[in-house]
Amino acid sequence: MGKLYAITAGSYSDYRIITLCSDEEKAHKIALLYNAEVEEFEDGKNLDTENIIFEVVFDDKYRNTYCWQCFTNPAEIKLNEVTSDGNLYKNYTVFVAAKNKEKALKIARDKLTEYRARELGI
């Protein structure tokens, strides 16, 4: 197995892959031209193509919900664990694996409901 180098730019909804290379030196030269970053991936690595990792953020009153595909290394996050930022107007974050955004939101809402119930001692 070799490596693939993704030349990427932007973040969140503006995140995009400009191109892929199998040559690291060439990837860095292209990244300089586009003022972009180079991300390294294993070629041929077995990936879970059934599920995508999503990051879901809720505000305290459920007025705003944000859900986007997460490009963080799955080993660096804890799936299905709710975290709170601890501020007066709390934001809750959940990383979930799902086939699509709708399913990710459903899983995250269920996890947040369980978390909030435990917070209230129910």
Residues 76 and 38 in one domain: no
User: What is the domain range of residue 58?
Assistant: 52-119
> How many domains does the chain divide into?
2
In the chain, DSSP assigns E strands to: 3-9, 16-21, 37-42, 52-59, 65-69, 83-84, 91-98
Task: Answer whether residue 47 is part of any domain.
Answer: no
Residues 60 and 100 in one domain: yes
Question: What digits encode the pLDDT tens for the residues 69-121?
Answer: 887 776 778 888 888 876 666 788 899 988 888 899 999 989 988 988 888 88
Q: Is the dihedral of CA 16, 51, 119, 64 positive or negative?
A: positive
* Radius of gyration of the chain measured on its C-alpha atoms: 18
Kindly report whether the global pTM for this prediction surpasses the value 0.75.
no
Question: What digits encode the pLDDT tens for the residues 3-61?
Answer: 899 999 988 888 899 999 999 999 999 999 999 999 988 776 555 556 788 989 888 76
